[in-house]
Amino acid sequence: MKIGALAQRADVGIDTIRYYEREGMIPAPLRTTSGYRDYRDGDVARLRFVRRAKQLGFTLQEIRELLDLTASAADDMAGLNQRAQAKLDDVNGRIDELTRVRDALQQLVEVCPGHGALEHCPIMAALSEEPT
């Protein structure tokens, strides 16, 4: 199939396909005698895999590793599960950090009256003070 059909079936852009091809995320396609790329049905599934893994926060390097793990269907799923668990732990850590940041900002916003001289602003004071 041509690149436009692949893009439509995999729900990605043509430039994305070319990028993933350069990055080795999908194998280089065969070329027709006229030089057009000729993709296989398996490329659709692979691109969907990459797209969905990106949506879950996996980096391209992590996706490469996942693809390597899935190369042999006879292998055990433990490796894939461990990678997904590690990503989940990472996401939970980032959520915890963002929650701390949100709570700290919320406190600063609540104590600031939002008017008056900047030199008396509690946000400015909190950001300027020495760490203890």
pLDDT band at residue 132 under the 50/70/90 scheme:
low
Burial state string for 49-66 with b = 16 or more CB within 10 A and e = fewer than 16: bbeebbeeebeeebbeeb
User: In degrees to the nearest 10, what's the CA dihedral of 82, 85, 91, 93?
Assistant: -100
The model's pLDDT over 4-63, given as tens digits with 9 standing for 90+, comes to 999 999 999 999 999 999 998 999 898 889 988 899 999 999 999 999 999 999 999 999
Cβ neighbours for 43, distance < 8 A, ≥ 6 positions apart: 6, 10, 26, 27, 29
Which range has the top average pLDDT, 70-79, 100-109, 117-126?
A: 100-109
Tokens standing for residue 1: 């199939």
